[in-house]
Amino acid sequence: MDQIRTDKLIQYILAVAARGWGDCNDKEIGPIHIIKHAYLADLAFAMRHGGKIFTGVPWRFFHFGPWDEGFFNRIEPSCAAIGAHKKIISGGEYNDFVRWHINDSHLESHLKKKLPREITFAIKGNFTRLSTVTNELLDYVYLTIPMRNAAPGEKLSFDIAVSAFESQKEEKEMLSAYQKPQLTAREQKKRKHAFMALRKKIQAKIADREKMPRKGFVKPTPPRYDELFWEGQKWLDSLAGSQITPEEGELTVDDSVWKSQSRREPYV
């Protein structure tokens, strides 16, 4: 892990968070948010640099997201180095959690000059899209390509993300080659007039149909909820077979599921 780069990245995440994000315009951020935003920044950098990440952190699949103890241990000293404020919120005897914030409006622009464009662009973009809402952030991170191709405890591979990124670029280039040529102003005007004429024609037909008398329409008779009705419903239910009785037990999933093809597909 490159400690200097890691510290700058952590500090920049803190500085961007200080702008205020989320529905409550919160300016604080917790360690879990810092870790996930740093991972996403590394991923964005790797996709444009042949799989090489910016921080050099050996990210691993831990619980439900990327993690590295060395990175986690750098959060407090790197935040303290820029005078960030640490707030401990107590949620019980073993449920204390930390929030960091900084009051320095110039720090973001200062650190931006010392970080690659891919890093700053990714962090700002992910804050705009995901804010600091923990559930949305964790869900998004969990569905990233390195996470979907690893099992718990394994080191995350960023080379797979590069391959996917290159393949997406090729697909976009192929699609752009088949795009229809842009219409001239005259052709656009002609198409607009044709659309308006068709719209008027359809509206006229709808108006004529509404004026037509509703002869021949049959008013449906409501069902009779009598004994015969309930006997018929009971017979239909019997065709489905016997009722499923509730049972309790323990379900064991084979470890091979982590490497299954279905898990590599997003939103499955």
Residues of the chain with pLDDT > 90, as a percent, come to 44
> Can you give the pTM of this predicted structure?
0.71
**pLDDT tens digits for range 156-206:** 999 988 887 777 776 666 666 666 677 888 888 898 999 999 999 999 888
Which residues are 60's β-sheet partners?
67, 155
Q: Determine the Cα–Cα distance for residues 16 and 82; give it in Å rounded to an integer.
A: 14
DSSP notation for 145-195: HHHHT--TTPBPPSHHHHHHHHHHHHHHHHHHHTPPPPPPHHHHHHHHHHH
Q: Determine the Cα–Cα distance for residues 260 and 251; give it in Å rounded to an integer.
A: 18
Instruction: Please check the confidence at residue 94 and state whether its pLDDT lies above 50.
Output: no
Instruction: Please check the confidence at residue 66 and state whether its pLDDT lies above 90.
Output: yes
**pLDDT tens digits for range 210-259:** 777 666 677 788 888 899 999 999 999 889 888 888 889 998 988 888 88
* Amino acid at site 118: E
The Cβ of residue 103 has, within 10 Å, a number of other Cβ atoms equal to 10
Q: Which residue has the higher pLDDT, 164 or 21?
A: 164
Q: Are 17 and 28 in contact (CB under 8 A)?
A: yes
Q: What is the pLDDT of residue 27?
A: 82
For residues 53-73, one letter each, b for 16 or more C-beta atoms within 10 angstroms of the residue's C-beta and e for the rest, the string is bbbebebbbeeebbbbeebee
Q: Determine the Cα–Cα distance for residues 249 and 147; give it in Å rounded to an integer.
A: 29
Q: Are 182 and 197 in contact (CB under 8 A)?
A: no
Q: What is the pLDDT of residue 41?
A: 96
Q: What is the pLDDT of residue 83?
A: 93
Q: Determine the Cα–Cα distance for residues 257 and 101; give it in Å rounded to an integer.
A: 40
Nearest CA to 72 among 39, 41, 96?
A: 39
Rounded to an integer, the average pLDDT of 128-142 is 81
Q: Determine the Cα–Cα distance for residues 15 and 100; give it in Å rounded to an integer.
A: 10
Q: Determine the Cα–Cα distance for residues 235 and 230; give it in Å rounded to an integer.
A: 9
User: Could you give the angle at which helices 69-81 and 3-17 cross, rounded to 10 degrees?
Assistant: 60
Q: What is the pLDDT of residue 219?
A: 77
Instruction: Please check the confidence at residue 113 and state whether its pLDDT lies above 70.
Output: yes
Residue 78 confidence class, pLDDT cut points 50, 70, 90: very high
* Highest averaged pLDDT of the listed ranges 29-38, 134-143, 252-261: 29-38
Sign of CA dihedral 259, 261, 262, 266: positive
Instruction: Please check the confidence at residue 268 and state whether its pLDDT lies above 70.
Output: no
Q: Determine the Cα–Cα distance for residues 98 and 32; give it in Å rounded to an integer.
A: 9
Average pLDDT, the chain: 86
Strands of the chain (E only): list them.
60-62, 65-67, 85-89, 97-101
Which of 24-28, 39-43, 85-89, 249-253 comes out lowest in average pLDDT? 24-28
Q: Which residue has the higher pLDDT, 101 or 259?
A: 101
* Amino acid at site 100: W
Q: Determine the Cα–Cα distance for residues 186 and 190; give it in Å rounded to an integer.
A: 6
